[in-house]
Structure 1
């Protein structure tokens, strides 16, 4: 192979390596973002459950106040 072709092949190989590294970085970033999104979804679900329990407790307490006032 002539030297020009070797140089061109080396340059192409280097470009492929750079692209492969960038793809790997993007895949890692996407996986991190998915995990972060899943974690945030779980936090929101947990907060929703807690809020529902608090609302129920407030309703119970308000109901008890109504009973006390009626006495």
Structure 2
């Protein structure tokens, strides 16, 4: 996916690489589509509830 910024196209993964982990966790938590949440969790060979809890725990542990 590409986003247009200041007349140039930017790949979405360039933006995601620069986001703090807490922001990525909040983005994932706010995804309404169960299909997207499931596909994301499957990329890590996990179910949605497990992936969601891991994201929360890793973010909490990293920040403390």
Whichever structure has more strand as a proportion of its residues is: 2
Q: Would you call these one fold, judging by a TM-score over 0.5?
A: no
Whichever structure has more helix as a proportion of its residues is: 1
Point out the structure with max Rg over C-alpha: 1
Normalised by the length of structure 1, the TM-score is: 0.26
Normalised by the length of structure 2, the TM-score is: 0.28
